[in-house]
Amino acid sequence: MSAAPDSGRAVTILAVSDEVDPLVYSDHVRERFRHVDLVLSCGDLPYSYLDYIVSMLDVPLYGVRGNHDCGQGFAGAAGESFAWNGANLHGRVVRSQGLLLAGLEGSRCYNYGPCQYSEAGMLLQVARLAPRLLANKARYGRYLDILVTHAPPRFIHDQEDPCHRGFASFRWFMRAFRPRYLLHGHVHLYDQRQIATTQFYDTVVLNAYGHRQLQVQPAAALTVALPGTRVGD
């Protein structure tokens, strides 16, 4: 794997979610994504696809399960590996490539399947992260750089059907712990007019449907909202 760029240079992240993207699942993946340092999965992808990505790029993989990730390769409890060589971020706070990462899996409960949570259930998952985030603040001077989720926050990129409604607890999380990014999937982007990037307080919320690339400077502060986004309260 590539060396962790803790020297202060920007970390290049490939975020993937929900769809096997032909630009990624390609013979040219090494050439196209040769500068990637870290892969983050927002869920609902075949474990063989994720393994292909990290095998070809030879970089770390962290991610969360989506509401359809309940088969072979995704059955491990939080804290165990998933997708072969990937690390399950759900309910965990880790440091990788100089960045502080955490994750919350699943979607809103709509048919009582696996990886589905009520609003109260997800709030409990958020609360369980709080002690480790407070420890980050004491040790590193910040709570978190990136929160990886499957579902979006409520009223940011979500939809009104029961399955695709976002979590209000994620809005509270962003106000309280101010990660620089929240990466999510779950909501498919079929129309270029759909909003996929939104600034919410100090957090840039990105829908990683298909794939997204971003560069994150370790310990740098995000101070400017991206153009073309809407700001929530």
pLDDT string in tens for the chain (233-residue length): 444 445 568 999 999 999 999 999 999 999 999 999 999 999 999 888 999 999 999 999 999 999 987 655 555 544 455 665 688 999 999 999 999 999 999 999 999 888 999 999 999 999 999 999 999 999 999 999 999 999 999 999 999 999 999 999 999 999 999 999 999 999 999 887 889 999 999 999 999 999 999 999 997 433 333 433 444 44
Domain range spanning residue 80? 11-216
Task: Please check whether residue 224 lies inside any domain of the structure.
Answer: no
Residue 65: inside a domain: yes
- Residue by residue, DSSP assigns 76-106 as PPTTSEETTTEEE-BT-EEEETTEEEEEE--
Contacts of 107 (CB under 8 A, 6+ apart): 66, 67, 115, 116, 117, 150, 151, 163, 164, 186
Residue 225 belongs to some domain of the structure? no
The tally of domains found in the chain comes to 1
Question: What is the pLDDT, as a whole number, of residue 32?
Answer: 97
CATH number at residue 184: 3.60.21.10
pLDDT value at position 219? 77
Whether 232 is in a domain gets the answer no
In a domain, 233, yes or no: no
Nearest CA to 93 out of 42, 39, 131, 43 is that of 131
The CA distance from 189 to 211, in Å, is: 11
Is position 4 within any domain?
Answer: no
Could you tell me the pTM of the whole model?
0.88
pLDDT for 198 equals 98
CA 183/CA 56 separation, integer angstroms: 23
Spacing of C-alpha 167 from chain mean position: 14
pLDDT of residue 68: 87
The answer to whether position 3 is within a domain reads no
Q: Which long-range contacts (CB under 8 A, 24 or more apart) does 110-114 make?
A: 110/162, 110/163, 113/67, 113/70, 114/67, 114/70
Answer whether residue 161 is part of any domain: yes
